[in-house]
Amino acid sequence: MRKIIVAGECSLDIIFPADTDGDTISLTAHPGGRLLNAAAILGDCGHSVEFAGEASRDLTGDIITAFLTRHHVGTRSIDRYTAGVTPSYFIFEQRDEATVAMRSNTAEGFDFIWPRIDADDIVIFGSYFALDKRIRPNLTDFLANAAERKATIIYLPGFLKKLEPSITKVMPFILENLQFADMVVTRSGDFANIFGPNATPASSYRDHISFYTRLMANVDDQRREITIFHGNDTFSETFASDQQPMKVNSLALAALTDALIELGITHDNSSSLPAGLLRMLLSHTSAFISSRK
E-state strands within the chain: 4-7, 12-16, 28-31, 49-56, 73-74, 78-81, 88-92, 97-102, 122-126, 152-156, 183-187, 215-220, 225-230, 233-238
Q: For residue 285, is pLDDT > 90?
A: yes
Question: Domain containing 53: what range?
Answer: 4-291
- For residue range 202-233, what is the model confidence (pLDDT) as tens digits? 999 999 999 999 999 999 988 999 999 999 99
- For residue range 25-34, what is the model confidence (pLDDT) as tens digits? 888 899 988 9
For residue 140, the model assigns a pLDDT of: 95
Per DSSP, the three-state class of 18 is: coil
Rounded mean pLDDT, 160-182: 85
- Domain tally for the chain? 1
276 versus 107: which is more confidently predicted?
276
pTM, whole model, 2 decimals? 0.94
For residue 44, the model assigns a pLDDT of: 97
User: What count of other Cβ atoms lies within 10 Å of the Cβ of residue 236?
Assistant: 15
